[in-house]
Amino acid sequence: MHYGLIIGLCFLYLALLFALASWAERRSAAGRSLVSNPYVYALSMAVYCTAWTYYGSVGRAATSGLEYLAIYIGPTLVAPLWWVVLRKIIRICKVQRITTIADFISSRYGKSISLGSVVTLICVLGIVPYISIQLKAITDSLSILTADSSSAWAGAAPGFPDLAFFIALGLAAFTIVYGTRHVEATERHEGMVTAIAFEAVLKLVIFLTAGVFVTYFVFNGFGDIMQQAQQLPDYQQLMTFDTGNSFSQWFWLVLLSMLAILFLPRQFQVAVVENVNEQHLNKAMWLFPLYLFVINIFVLPVALGGNLLFGGQAVDADMFVLAIPLSQGQELLSLLVFLGGYAAATSMVIVSTIALSVMISNNLMMPVLVNSSSLQSHFHRYSTGILLYSRRLSILMVLLLAYLYYHFVGEHYSLVEVGLVSFVAVAQFAPAIIGGIFWKEGTRNGALAGIVVGFLLWFYTLVVPSMVGADLLPATILTEGPWGVALLKPFELLGLTGMDYISHAMFWTMFLNTGLYVGISLLGRQSVREHRQAEVFVDIFKHSTVFESSVEWKGTAWVPDIRSLLVTFLGEKRTADALAAYYKQYPEQTDEWGSADPKLVIYAENLLAGVIGASAAHLVVASVAKEEEIRMEEVLGILKESQQLISSNHELYRTSLELKQTTAELQQANQRLQQLDKLKDEFLSTVTHELRTPLTSIRALSEILYDNPDLAREDQEQFLHTIVKESERLTRLITQVLDLERFESGRIELNLEEVQLQEVIAEACENLKPLVREKQVELLLELEPSLPPLLADRDRLMQVMVNLVSNAIKFCQPGSGKITVSCFNFEYDIKVSVSDNGSGIAPEHQEQIFDKFYQARHQALRKPEGSGLGLAISRKIVESHQGHIWVESEPGKGARFSFILPVQVSAPTVDATVNV
């Protein structure tokens, strides 16, 4: 294929990415962001799959077998833990406006400049080889694709400038235009994320297409490849985990990739910095492992197919996926495969270089620039420009370094070999980060010592040997050790043998790094600022809500200074917006010319940290704010206060819940009281009404007697008799009202004694004889002769019987009335019934007839005498003896009032509730 075509395609592709990114950013500006979507987020994480995956996995599988899977198993295993680890990191970065992994570590350990610089340096040195393998993959694939055509570049590989150099320059130019296009240096890149997600889809689809082609078109499916592959000489070795140190190798590779997925600068960029919503993690936690699974389906068939097709030929196993379609004459497919690999490589290069450039400018250049007094005066005027140029310069520098590594070292190694070296480099951040977010005691010195020693060991055990391999150092270092000291052999440090070189390096670096971090942290002390940051990082979920209110800054600063500082780095518009947002939150601080509140100072520092990094931001803020030394106790006090604020918030919340509950209860009680009040009013008005009636009679008759002394004797007697009767009625009413009140308030006392109920009934009926005779009714007694004795109040039961019998007499027709009183033992109860043949009670009244004054309120039931309280009191008495009273009646045929009393009355109970 012709170069021009392919180069043109590459540029077209980059232009497409550029257009896609711009479109995404315009959409975002219009409020229809593509990035606030968990699928885009999960796809952007697939920047993990670079040319390493696309080309290198096949190469690794073709030469070393299943081992290539380890670096996908690690991220898959660790994905469920993201909710604990990654979410915490995301939250910390949001709260502290952290934009790179170097900034993260530096911030955790007191915004340490040295730590930030060291981490940046390690990232650059560690990632540059990784970027170089992308260059290598692009260059190699391009060479293979164009191998047939005679080209000026074909034989130029080892010389300078070669093809890779121009590829590096091209990518640098694109990344600069693409990543630092804006005058403002913002922390999030929506366009980039959209483009990365697009590339993730593209590389997956093309790789699967190639896989399907190889498996089903070149061969006849998986079975066919496997069957044919059995004839390969190294088949057994490839398909089993049989090597002696295979277990430890797998363990270290899985662990390594677990750490890499979290701490590679580009993963940190897409997973943490570009995260817009923590909830997106939920989907990414299964979508991303799924992506890894799918992209690996055809790795083995392609690798084995390549071995079968090119056995013995000089074809780089890393390029099988491209070489197979090419060998089958599939030019279009080959071009597509090249494009997929190009997409995988460019996505990694773009994200990594942007992340590295931010680190370099924020953690290496900025601290120097803002700290240098000679530069400072000029600096403020041009700061935005300086920021952008330092980033652009960094991008160019990183890509040139990658080219140099490729040119001098990378060419001698496979993609995976180089990639793993980078993984081990970023794994050095693990102790300081994991420890930093879960362990408050970790100190800056511990982190620095661990990282530096880990890095040096990394360099010694992995980079030095690679330089030997590239003939830059004498081979004796590997075989005999430096200066002939065998204990220092880079692959067998201190005589540790039996491990592959990656596991060996991982073992030593992790062992010493973690050991030093923990050991020095335990021995040393944290500075105040470190302590503050440790507190915030470890307890981020407590601090993230009240962060700006839990200020641990003490000193003096002036609002105009802070403002001009913000304008320097953010520009007029963003400064105005940010301050407006601040004053909206704290409307009480509107003095724009006065001294700045500590909250404002911290707010400004956080804003600046998002642009120039935490340690540089701290420096520039310190230049305008005169900070006072805070004593440790004060910090602890402030932190305690904020904790108390939180717990008192909880307390408040709980109290308000309780209050709500109490209010509801009070409302209910109030309603009940109102109801009772209404009942009481009704009761009172009924009582007074019942009092007024006899009083009216008494008064009228008395006045007549008084005014008419000459009244006839029989008239006088009749009037006086009526007065006496009405007085008795009044007395009865008053007694009964008081009686009922005693029952209802529970103040009644029963005089319990052994009572023969049939005797009580007989006596009551005897007392009512005069009334019976007067009304000429028939009264029959049906009493069981021997009843068990009851423990009861004899007088009260008498009251009930008199009431029921006299009621019956009143309701009977004089002359024809017939009343039957019966009493018999009914299992454990004694049942008493009083039946009459009077007018009866309508069903609708039977329920309420025992309510006090029910008759009075239902005048149709009214009878000549009676207070309307007799039945209410009778019910109270029966119930206080643990009995039950009721009425059965058929209107017109009479009524039967019955009650039962238990023979065993254990203890008298009084129903104190008000019965309606």
Partner 1 sequence: MEKQGKLKILVVDDEPNILMPLEFLMRKQGYNVLIARNGNEAIESVDKELPQVVVLDVMMPDVDGYEVCRHLRRKQEMADTKVIFISAKAQDADIKAGYAAGADLYIPKPFSTRFLMEKIKALAVGEKVVTNN
Q: How far is the CB of 721 from partner 1 (least distance, A)?
A: 10
Tokens 């940046």 belong to which residue?
120
**Residue closer to partner 1, measured from CB, 730 or 832:** 730
**Residue closer to partner 1, measured from CB, 116 or 838:** 838
> Measuring CA to CA, which residue among 286, 275, 287 is closest to residue 87?
275
Using CB under 8 A as the binding rule, the residues of this chain from 721 to 780 that contact partner 1 are: 722, 725-726
Specify the DSSP element, H or E, that contains 47.
none
Q: How far is the CB of 857 from partner 1 (least distance, A)?
A: 10
Q: How far is the CB of 803 from partner 1 (least distance, A)?
A: 21
Tokens 């007989």 belong to which residue?
762
Residue 882 has what DSSP assignment?
T
C-beta of residue 297 within 8 angstroms of C-beta of residue 211: yes
**Residue closer to partner 1, measured from CB, 129 or 694:** 694
Task: Give the distance, in angstroms, between the CA of residue 757 and the centroid of all CA atoms in the same chain.
Answer: 72
Q: How far is the CB of 732 from partner 1 (least distance, A)?
A: 15
What stretches of 244-372 show up as alpha helix (H) in DSSP? 246-263, 265-268, 280-296, 299-310, 320-327, 331-359, 366-371
Q: How far is the CB of 865 from partner 1 (least distance, A)?
A: 10
Q: How far is the CB of 685 from partner 1 (least distance, A)?
A: 7
Q: How far is the CB of 708 from partner 1 (least distance, A)?
A: 8
**Residue closer to partner 1, measured from CB, 537 or 719:** 719
Using CB under 8 A as the binding rule, the residues of this chain from 669 to 728 that contact partner 1 are: 685, 688-690, 692-701, 703-704, 707-708, 715, 718-719, 722, 725-726
Q: How far is the CB of 875 from partner 1 (least distance, A)?
A: 24
Q: How far apart are CA 430 and CA 428, in angstroms?
A: 6
**Residue closer to partner 1, measured from CB, 821 or 856:** 856
**Residue closer to partner 1, measured from CB, 493 or 723:** 723
Burial of 143 (0-12, 13-18, 19+ CB in 10 A): middle
Residue 629 has what DSSP assignment?
P
Q: How far apart are CA 416 and CA 67, in angstroms?
A: 11
Q: How far is the CB of 726 from partner 1 (least distance, A)?
A: 6
Q: How far is the CB of 874 from partner 1 (least distance, A)?
A: 23
Q: How far is the CB of 700 from partner 1 (least distance, A)?
A: 4
Burial code (b: 16+ CB inside 10 Å, e: under 16) for 230-241 equals: eebeebeebbee
**Residue closer to partner 1, measured from CB, 726 or 879:** 726
**Residue closer to partner 1, measured from CB, 633 or 707:** 707
Specify the DSSP element, H or E, that contains 241.
none
Task: Dump the DSSP string for 465-487.
Answer: HHHHHTTSS-THHHHT-GGG-GG
Residue 738 main-chain phi, psi, to 5 deg: -65, -40
Q: How far is the CB of 682 from partner 1 (least distance, A)?
A: 12
Specify the DSSP element, H or E, that contains 226.
helix 221-229
**Residue closer to partner 1, measured from CB, 33 or 693:** 693
Using CB under 8 A as the binding rule, the residues of this chain from 553 to 582 that contact partner 1 are: none
Q: How far apart are CA 230 and CA 241, in angstroms?
A: 16
Q: How far apart are CA 780 and CA 818, in angstroms?
A: 8
**Residue closer to partner 1, measured from CB, 193 or 841:** 841
Q: How far is the CB of 671 from partner 1 (least distance, A)?
A: 24
**Residue closer to partner 1, measured from CB, 626 or 862:** 862
Q: How far is the CB of 850 from partner 1 (least distance, A)?
A: 20
Residue type, position 140, single letter: D
Dig out the tokens for 85 from the structure: 């680890």
Dig out the tokens for 682 from the structure: 């009704």
Q: How far apart are CA 705 and CA 717, in angstroms?
A: 10
**Residue closer to partner 1, measured from CB, 405 or 719:** 719
Residue 782 main-chain phi, psi, to 5 deg: -120, 85
C-beta of residue 379 within 8 angstroms of C-beta of residue 370: yes
Q: What percent of the residues of the chain are helix, what percent strand, and what percent coil, each to the nearest 5? A: 70, 5, 20
**Residue closer to partner 1, measured from CB, 715 or 759:** 715
Q: With contacts defined by CB under 8 A, how many residues of the chain interact with partner 1?
A: 29
CA dihedral 334, 339, 341, 344 (to 10 degrees): -160
C-beta of residue 533 within 8 angstroms of C-beta of residue 109: yes
How far is CA 34 from each of CA 197, 310, 344, rounded to the nearest angstrom?
10, 44, 21
Q: How far is the CB of 653 from partner 1 (least distance, A)?
A: 48
C-beta of residue 883 within 8 angstroms of C-beta of residue 902: yes
Strand spans (E) along 736-817: 752-755, 778-783, 790-793
Site track for partner 1 across 454-493, x = CB under 8 A: ----------------------------------------
**Residue closer to partner 1, measured from CB, 279 or 688:** 688
Q: How far apart are CA 790 and CA 166, in angstroms?
A: 115
Q: Is 263 helix (H, G, I), strand (E, B) or coil?
A: helix
**Residue closer to partner 1, measured from CB, 644 or 718:** 718
> Measuring CA to CA, which residue among 499, 497, 624, 605 is closest to residue 559?
624
Q: How far is the CB of 908 from partner 1 (least distance, A)?
A: 37
Using CB under 8 A as the binding rule, the residues of this chain from 822 to 881 that contact partner 1 are: 859-862, 864
**Residue closer to partner 1, measured from CB, 332 or 860:** 860
Burial code (b: 16+ CB inside 10 Å, e: under 16) for 489-499 equals: bbbbbeeeeeb
End-to-end CA gap in the chain: 102
Q: How far is the CB of 873 from partner 1 (least distance, A)?
A: 22
**Residue closer to partner 1, measured from CB, 716 or 756:** 716
Residues interacting with partner 1, by CB under 8 A?
A: 685, 688-690, 692-701, 703-704, 707-708, 715, 718-719, 722, 725-726, 859-862, 864
